[in-house]
Structure formats: structure tokens, C-alpha cells
């Protein structure tokens, strides 16, 4: 079954954005990942399951037609077991092939498509840096939801207030 394993954001400042996601969510930088591809400068972060790619495109190639100065969600990616079968399935559902990033035998290969609304996504049979397939943990699934595995942190007054309001309405 395909799994969502990659989210790519275009950011203004790679280091500032990386530091934010490290501090705010505890993401870790993926050591040894290339800082540049043919199309972008990048920093890869992970929570151990999903790769968050922070990107700055070098030009229009690979940028997917976004205007210069664009900042925000750029694309997302699914890890698939069989690249050809996944391609047939997405194209059968209405996706249009966009381009290949790299060669199919490359470790960082991605096949990019546009969905029926023109939204960019990619598929990879090799995964992304920081995802289970790359770290040798493919097939190992969490047995409990993430929220039950993390220690509870203090909640903001707003969050606590709205939760107690919901409880009051129920009871």
C-alpha cells in the first residue's frame, strides 16, 4: 500500500526554517543527505516516518510553475512498492506524468505527476532520506497512535479553556 512519506516546502531561509521545525516539533536533520539536487538547495528533516524537505529552487526546472518568490507547500510524495504498477494506477485515476527527478536506479529518484487539479506529487520506490525504507525500518509500523507515545506537554491556556468548554457542553 502506498504511504505518504514526503512533504516539500519552499522556504525563504533554509537554516532559519530548519531551526524552527527542529525546535517546534523535535524533527531531526537527516545526516548525509545531499544539500543540493539538480533543481534545488535543500535541508531534509524527519520524525522517523516522514521526510520534510525544505527547498529553495535554483530556477524554473522542477519548481512546477510556481512564481518567483513563492513560499509554501510545494508537493508531497508517496512511497510505493512497485513503481510501474503505481504509475499505471495514478495515471488510470487521472494523473498526468510531469517529469523524473534523476534516473530510476538513483537512490534519490522521484517520478513526478500532476493530479486532475494540477497539484504536484511524486512517487518513489526507494523512499526519502529519514523515512523507514531508507533507515532499514520498512515494514515496522507503530502499534499505537503517535499521540499516545509522546509525553504530554503543558497546554496553552486557550487549548485548556476550549477543552473544558467542550466537556461542559457534553456533561
Domains of the chain: 3-170 (3.10.180.10)
Instruction: Tell me the pLDDT band of 92, cut-offs 50, 70 and 90.
Output: very high
Nine-digit cell at 160?
485548556
Question: What does the pLDDT read at residue 160?
Answer: 38
What's the rounded Cα separation, in Å, for the pair 44 and 142?
22
Q: Report pTM.
A: 0.71
pLDDT at 166 over 70: no
Long-range contacts of 27-32 (CB under 8 A, 24+ apart): 27/52, 28/130, 30/129, 30/130, 32/129
Question: What does the pLDDT read at residue 80?
Answer: 94
Q: What percent of the chain has pLDDT above 90?
A: 54
* Residue range 21-60, pLDDT digits in tens: 999 999 999 987 778 888 889 999 999 999 999 999 888 7
163 CB neighbour count, 10 Å cutoff: 11
* Residue range 35-44, pLDDT digits in tens: 888 888 999 9
Q: What is the mean pLDDT of the chain?
A: 79
- Do 108 and 102 touch, CB atoms closer than 8 A? yes
Spacing of C-alpha 22 from chain mean position: 15
Amino acid at each position: 500500500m502506498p504511504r505518504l512519506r514526503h512533504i516539500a516546502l519552499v522556504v525563504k531561509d533554509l537554516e532559519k526554517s530548519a531551526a524552527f521545525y527542529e525546535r517546534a516539533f523535535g524533527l531531526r536533520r537527516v545526516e548525509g543527505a545531499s544539500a543540493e539536487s539538480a533543481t534545488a538547495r535543500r535541508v531534509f528533516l524527519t520524525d522517523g516516518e516522514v521526510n520534510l524537505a525544505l527547498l529553495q529552487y535554483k530556477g524554473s526546472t522542477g519548481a512546477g510553475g510556481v512564481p518567483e518568490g513563492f513560499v509554501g507547500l510545494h508537493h508531497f510524495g508517496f512511497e510505493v512498492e512497485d513503481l510501474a504498477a503505481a504509475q499505471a494506477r495514478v495515471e488510470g485515476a487521472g494523473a498526468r506524468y510531469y517529469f523524473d527527478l534523476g534516473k530510476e536506479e538513483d537512490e534519490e529518484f522521484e517520478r513526478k505527476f500532476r493530479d486532475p487539479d494540477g497539484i504536484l506529487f511524486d512517487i518513489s520506490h526507494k523512499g526519502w532520506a529519514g523515512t523507514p525504507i531508507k533507515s532499514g525500518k520498512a515494514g515496522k509500523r507503530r502499534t499505537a497512535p503517535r499521540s499516545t507515545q509522546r509525553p504530554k506537554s503543558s497546554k496553552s491556556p486557550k487549548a485548556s479553556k476550549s477543552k473544558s468548554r467542550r466537556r461542559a457542553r457534553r456533561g
